[in-house]
Structure 1
């Protein structure tokens, strides 16, 4: 999806949904220039496209996501799903396909309701267009082909007509909850609930009883994995030279800028919607360096990341991760991101006060997994618990433990390896393999 297509698709949706006299205020609410009201009456799509010119790709993707949600746009959702390998939904397309397959094979669909009434609990069929010119909307369309003639299958209905893989998370969750609603379903087989939960769990959701109606359980889908709260904003990592100096460039929008030593670090500048895969990092590097994606690009980013790590335990940890899991997991491999800046003490703090206020400024490694799960991995050297003269420092150790607690309270998972574990190099490779094998099972990364 190129820049021009993004602009065009956003403009088409807004132009079709918003009246000319409302358009300036709507554009302003999305952070776009309002301009003269008369412009909107000269052509809504052109009015919007003029305001999108010069906006960067990240801004446009964010705007498209907001517009798609605000106007329930299947077209924008479909487009956004082509941009990211995981798509834009919290309930992934893979999970949706598995649930639909389970629903269709089990016969759990409309229950005691007629099909039209059941579908209207999730979709506004009367406002949806028909694929048949004989009918004004999808209601007549579905009645003709699913009830009168029975020449559409349920799979065609959900996939091709209702586009269930491109509807919002909220709409898909509502549909799934309706499948087991006691008002027209009665008793639901617990094994069916277990099967749905098997798939929902992979995206951090669960269907559970929240109340009762006339003695029957009422099920709702809830989030089970919260991860780290807040939106992802900055990924500064892999410094192979002097520490970058960072300032707040826009305190209102919490935007930062690197004013010195930027050439020694990497800054990932694409949206991270639901974790970061190694394949996504390689694609980003290839685009950044204007190279075609392939083994040479992958080697280039791998070598660049290795340069940011100290010889010995850190490099071995990184190398063995890729040795054992790159080929095995392919494009599903999470990116193991080295030397990630978490906090930042301004240069002036150290210069004037001669102290560091924030203990952990940089993580050894970070994994960004689905459902906002963030895994911090620390490979401890003597600098983690010793003073500058190499004497054990209880104060420094206590500060490190406090920093770990603070991270966990924010929702991060912290795993720490002691330097002693790396003394016997023959055991290091197996240790790394065993650790990540168990980690991926725990977080269902397959």
Structure 2
């Protein structure tokens, strides 16, 4: 597995400067105090704004931390177009965690050397302006300057002569230093059917994917125009194909009584939702964090703050775990939250108990000897970034025996279902019930011994390492 590109760390003062510069470039000095007040900044004297608009704004941003600065930046961008500010915001949000390396950028540029012409029949400077910090224009190309402009250098060494390769041209236009958003827009421009089509377009898409996949990205068809594919750069889906739609979990006693509220949209409700929970917010391929789940619970239960919501939700989920009477499931669940919530904080993925993967509205008794679904519920589930779904099962006798007698048929059914689950993209990890010998789970007494606790910690640490989640004790 290739090493991930480092998280982009942009100083907060850079963001403050970009906000101040954006307002200074777009707002008259006599309006600056009013605009700043509208953004939630402290008022000041008019003569201060007349002296320096940029300094006036910057002074009022000192003391604001990242969340508030990003909110202010977003408000500014809603009213004023500013590329420099937009770039910084995208680097601190959309592209903060998942990045392509400098090596990947350089390899991409080498692939682009094969393109002739670079932007097909399109305007060269329009394409280069996607990444260039210096605006490029054909105006004034023949004017004599003691220090030639970048546009004049390109005209002399790329348009009129072939001194520059595509790679060198793009490097001179900031391809190695521009924001990740800009480099991705450039690639999408080069794949636009207006620029190239057919075999040329397909060849470039395949060549780019061979390089981008190392860093977890690829170019995929997202639309079509007059029969030609439109490509976009996206994170590579590594897990289950398709976005999660329903999350039904934490059943306590009764099987959830489901019904459709909108069969066309696949919207469902639970009549007895005190026995099972239905997460009714939009689920993305970025996974589900404990904080996000707790925010949903806070709103659902009308709790005063997030701390109380986490405490209340943990108790509710633990109740469903205890109802299984599984010492192993209890030990894994309890150890996970008590140990890893301290290590990962707001980045802790939610460990969700008793999740319905399949659902048959009829009971096993009603189906008799002809069940439609062999397995409906999973013990524990993690939803991670890039559609990674991890199922954790703790096996008891019911997984491989009937009436305490080993059943090869039942065991065969279980492993067949495991294969099917893995082939659809799920990760599956099984624990044997006998591994949890030092766990006590009884009314009024629950205890997890040191051997089991360490086993659980080791498992989750190795699992997080596999998925590039830093959780070192």
Separation (CA, whole Å) in 2 of partners of 1:318 and 1:336: 7
Equivalent position to 1:435, from 438, 459, 463: 459
1:248–1:222: structure 2 CA closer, same or farther, 3 Å change rule?
closer
Which residue is 1:94 aligned to?
Answer: 97
Which residue is 2:349 aligned to?
Answer: 334
1:99–1:291: structure 2 CA closer, same or farther, 3 Å change rule?
farther
Kindly indicate whether the alpha-carbon contact (under 8 Å) linking 2:351 and 2:381 is maintained by their aligned counterparts in 1.
Answer: yes
Size of the alignment, in residue pairs? 318
1:307–1:348: structure 2 CA closer, same or farther, 3 Å change rule?
closer
Separation (CA, whole Å) in 2 of partners of 1:434 and 1:375: 16
Q: CA deviation at 1:260?
A: 2.9
Equivalent position to 1:300, from 293, 312, 316: 312
Which sections of structure 2, spanning at least 5 residues, go unmatched? 1-80, 142-147, 154-171, 193-208, 220-232, 439-448
1:360–1:335: structure 2 CA closer, same or farther, 3 Å change rule?
same
CA deviations 1:377-421 (Å, max 9, x no partner) are 00112222232x333333322221121111112111111000011
Kindly indicate whether the alpha-carbon contact (under 8 Å) linking 1:366 and 1:377 is maintained by their aligned counterparts in 2.
Answer: yes
Separation (CA, whole Å) in 1 of partners of 2:369 and 2:108: 70
1:356–1:403: structure 2 CA closer, same or farther, 3 Å change rule?
same
1:249–1:284: structure 2 CA closer, same or farther, 3 Å change rule?
closer
Residues 301-380 of structure 1: matches in 2 within 5 Å?
A: 301-310=313-322, 311=325, 312-347=327-362, 350-351=365-366, 353=368, 355-380=370-395
Kindly indicate whether the alpha-carbon contact (under 8 Å) linking 1:246 and 1:256 is maintained by their aligned counterparts in 2.
Answer: no
Q: TM-score, normalised by structure 1?
A: 0.57
Separation (CA, whole Å) in 2 of partners of 1:380 and 1:267: 25
Which SS does the other structure have where 1:94 is aligned?
coil
Q: Which moved more, 1:336-345 or 1:291-300?
A: 291-300
Kindly indicate whether the alpha-carbon contact (under 8 Å) linking 1:241 and 1:264 is maintained by their aligned counterparts in 2.
Answer: yes
Separation (CA, whole Å) in 1 of partners of 2:321 and 2:433: 15
1:288–1:119: structure 2 CA closer, same or farther, 3 Å change rule?
farther
1:277 aligns with 2:299: no
Kindly indicate whether the alpha-carbon contact (under 8 Å) linking 2:243 and 2:283 is maintained by their aligned counterparts in 1.
Answer: no
1:417–1:352: structure 2 CA closer, same or farther, 3 Å change rule?
closer
Equivalent position to 1:164, from 169, 179, 182: 182
Which residue is 2:247 aligned to?
Answer: 235
Separation (CA, whole Å) in 2 of partners of 1:146 and 1:379: 64
Residues 48-127 of structure 1: matches in 2 within 5 Å?
A: 87=94, 92-96=95-99, 99=101, 125=126
Which residue is 1:261 aligned to?
Answer: 272
Q: TM-score, normalised by structure 2?
A: 0.54
CA RMSD of aligned residues (A): 5.0
Greater C-alpha radius of gyration:
2
1:155–1:276: structure 2 CA closer, same or farther, 3 Å change rule?
same
Which residue is 2:216 aligned to?
Answer: 203
